[in-house]
Amino acid sequence: GAVVSQHPSWVICKSGTSVKIECRSLDFQATTMFWYRQFPKQSLMLMATSNEGSKATYEQGVEKDKFLINHASLTLSTLTVTSAHPEDSSFYICSARERTGFYEQYFGPGTRLTVT
């Protein structure tokens, strides 16, 4: 099946710094990629939807200036958490949707962000 990778798988950073998370679709092209955040024992919460070559669409309550999303190609999207704070510590999961067919959506393995 299709594979979505994320890098890094975990990261620890100091408060005030920025962190970039990469999401790649390894064997298919994804016009649309999604970024989710998941807190402990909670379900996935959609943060934003990004379409290749255009600006991301953010869900209500998600600060676009804090969570910068770039979808530069059909296989790569990045999420940058700017000026991170401890409350940004969470599990970030990306998902990529196929361009054609069933519009199947595949999830990455997630990135654990800890801000100290």
Binder among 21, 47, 93, 115 for other proteins (CB under 8 A): 93
How many positions of this chain bind other proteins (CB under 8 A)? 23
CB 21 within 8 A of CB 7: yes
Is 70 an interacting residue with respect to other proteins (CB under 8 A)? no
Among 7, 20, 22, 49, binds other proteins (CB under 8 A): 49
According to the binding rule CB under 8 A, does residue 105 interact with other proteins?
yes
Part of the chain binding other proteins (CB under 8 A), chosen from 13-21, 43-51, 67-75, 79-87: 43-51
Q: Residue 35 contacts by C-beta under 8 Å, 6 or more apart in sequence? A: 23, 46, 47, 48, 50, 67, 69, 77, 79, 92, 93, 94, 95
